């Protein structure tokens, strides 16, 4: 299953960009990063079944193992792409929230968008490692 990260704004040559690249290389599943302008810009329509996950302050807080199980279930159900959407500074619209398959939050705190990308990539690496039985994640 393709893990497609769609984010508003450019990450450039920041320390966060280095973290994103580091985890992207380690993920055993195909990944893609699409950067959109702060406003406007459209996400292309896929030709295959997909799920949409919005990173959102109003989203569900999930542990890494629960997140991995969700991704694994979608993969096993034949979903070919999961889109992880990081919105602009004002977040997502109510309509976007209603259309999403999952609203996902990294806790109650507000995180900078560039750091949220790096955190998402780490969680995707962690989730795919859990599903592969790799010892990276230590459950307590």
55 marked ligand binding residue: yes
The tokens 């993969």 sit on which residue?
Answer: 75
CA-nearest of 110, 51, 59 to 84 is 51
The tokens 């990081």 sit on which residue?
Answer: 86
71 marked ligand binding residue: no
Which residue(s) pair with 51 in the sheet?
Answer: 82
CA-nearest of 58, 53, 59 to 127 is 53
The tokens 């450039």 sit on which residue?
Answer: 12
CB 125 within 8 A of CB 60: no
Q: Give the C-alpha separation, 90 to 109, whole Å.
A: 15
Residue list, annotated binding site for S-adenosyl-L-methionine = 55, 87
Residue list, annotated binding site = 55, 87
């Amino acid at each position: 299953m393709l893990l497609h990260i769609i984010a508003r704004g450019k990450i450039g040559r920041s320390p966060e960009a280095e973290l994103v690249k580091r985890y992207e290389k380690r993920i055993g599943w195909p990944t893609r990063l699409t950067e959109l302008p702060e406003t406007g810009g459209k996400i292309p329509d896929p030709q295959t079944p997909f799920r949409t996950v919005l990173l959102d302050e109003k989203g569900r807080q999930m542990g890494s193992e629960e997140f991995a199980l969700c991704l694994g279930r979608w993969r096993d159900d034949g979903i070919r792409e999961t889109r992880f959407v990081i919105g602009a500074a004002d977040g997502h619209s109510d309509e976007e929230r209603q259309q999403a398959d999952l609203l996902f939050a990294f806790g109650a705190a507000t995180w900078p968008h560039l750091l949220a990308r790096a955190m998402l990539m780490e969680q995707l690496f962690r989730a795919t490692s859990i599903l592969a039985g790799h010892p990276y994640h230590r459950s307590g």
